[in-house]
Structure 1
């Protein structure tokens, strides 16, 4: 069983009368990717700010890399790296100079060798001696993450790291994140891209109006949402009509010539549906199993006030 890289209990933060974090609890296993999701204003960035010692909590306990963020601030800062929502590079410096500056600030031994290695790793060696102002958005993001890695942090906070990047640059960043985890780092990720969380996260927590309304693996969260169905498409309207008389529980779409039958999408249930059609001499042109995705989870969990949120399967199904 892996140890905790981040342990949060009863975390509260308010600005005047506005409660931003209302007693949240979660645990992040070392060497994993943990993703915090939530709509704008849910409290994601405030959570990151507290965990990275940039902001003091009003109540609760937070430990990062084994250190208390309130009592052992210096040790926490020495163990973490942070990439914020906007690339924090100095545009007047070259890529190499940005990295060297970080190495000097962190008093890294043999900083020149480290800088060269990071430039090569992030495919920036060819642009190393160009001003960062000439870099594309994807290159700046890679440089920003490379700067975060100076000092080999145990825990890396990525606050919406791929916002504004094109799909190719985003997938490049995903590959880098996977490499970091394979090397033993722990990643705390906030993102607006639900596919990103689905691709990268070992566990996900959904934050809504300052409260955690669900936690689990991506598959566990998707399993909470009803809506799995088998979709059949037929060659013509006559075939659709005949199949609809057999599969009475199905929802039909005359324009698409499809029937959607609710179910678990498992092998047995799909085979049973095909057998029912076959018994009446009916064939579908194609069929597929449609399952809820994280978009469905996100909408189901954040479309009502957090104070009345119930995230059990039974409650969501209602």
Structure 2
């Protein structure tokens, strides 16, 4: 059951003549995680506001489960939850009261049961009677995420969910998002963290200057930065020079003294051939390793474009 939950088609938006979004197209399948990557000012938050009906676009169309968000905002808003960069929890109320209030507003039949269940799921039962103003940043984010699950929404929108969290809290939240996905939830998140997109997303879109400049799976994205490489490090510069000549057919590149790299099209076979050739010619290696491009490399590649 891999039906389309969200369809963003040719969305445009300008502010005072400045084009913030230019023909953005994104499709999101049920039960998957989509990460929209981009630097500050790329237009991520503007797109999320349009997708959730908080802002009108200047063109294009957004549908959630085939419901046009601009024409039927109330109907569409019943299908999703939206967690913004700033947590929407009330600091005066307790964790329990925050969740119970949302359950009531969402017309849950058994609000108490839903509240207790979500507190347990997000490891907040012990702190349920404390005012949220006393919660840590990570706890507030967990509560915010719990609130977003009230009403069993079709899709959850998360705007930079882990900004400002320490590494442990960030990992905890990532695990919870993964858990939500494993239970069939569809998640659309914006982030500046490349590692976050790599860890969580099935599909990634790079938004730059209002356009999606690249999209695909994390592995497909990494191919933009080039092939896997075999890195060879030698003890002596003259060994590196000999290896350059010997391995000429593999188009080696000298990165630094003692160090050359080779693009790996056929990873294992090329590696074995190269190592055999060096052994036969008695060219001693200090070390070697195979490296795969990261999303950081992709980001750098796309930023130059």
Distance 2:10 2:120 in 1: 42
Query: What is the aligned partner in structure 1 of residue 274 from structure 2?
Result: 273
Between 245-254 and 79-88, the greater mean CA deviation after superposition: 245-254
**What residue in structure 1 maps to residue 54 of structure 2?**
54
Greater CA deviation, 194-203 or 227-236?
227-236
Structure 2 gaps, min length 5: none
Q: What's the offset of the Cα at 1:228? A: 3.4
* C-alpha distance in structure 2 between counterparts of 1:274 and 1:181, whole Å: 43
Q: What stretches of structure 1 of length at least 5 have no aligned partner?
A: 305-318
Q: Secondary structure at the match of 1:125?
A: coil
Aligned to 2:174: 174
1:59-138 paired onto structure 2 within 5 Å: 59-138=59-138
Could you tell me how far apart the structure 2 residues matched to 1:3 and 1:35 are? Answer: 18
Deviation at 1:252, TM superposition (A): 4.5
Q: CA RMSD in A?
A: 1.8
**Paired position in structure 1 for 2:40:** 40
Task: Specify the SS of the correspondent of 2:126.
Answer: helix
> For residues 185 and 266 of structure 1, what CA distance do their matches in structure 2 show?
36
User: SS at 1:127's partner residue?
Assistant: coil
Equivalent positions of 1:1-318 (< 5 A) are 2-226=2-226, 228-235=228-235, 239-240=239-240, 243-244=243-244, 246-247=246-247, 249-254=252-257, 257-264=258-265, 266-304=267-305
Per-residue deviation, residues 247-278 of structure 1 (Å, max 9, x unmatched): 45341533xx4332333361111111111111
SS at match of 1:161: coil
Contact preservation (8 Å) 1:155, 1:185 = yes
TM-score (norm 1): 0.89
What is the DSSP-based 3-state SS (H/G/I as helix, E as strand, rest coil) of the residue aligned with 2:9?
strand
Deviates more, 1:59-68 or 1:186-195: 59-68
Further displaced range: 235-244 or 148-157: 235-244
Partner of 1:275, secondary structure, is: helix
Checking the alignment, whether the CA contact within 8 Å between 2:39 and 2:208 is kept in structure 1 is yes
- Count residues with an aligned counterpart: 302
- For the residue of structure 1 that corresponds to 2:145, the secondary structure is helix
Partner secondary structure for residue 170 of structure 1: helix
1:177-233 alpha-carbon deviations (Å, 9 max, x no partner): 111112111100111110110111111111111111111111111112226321123
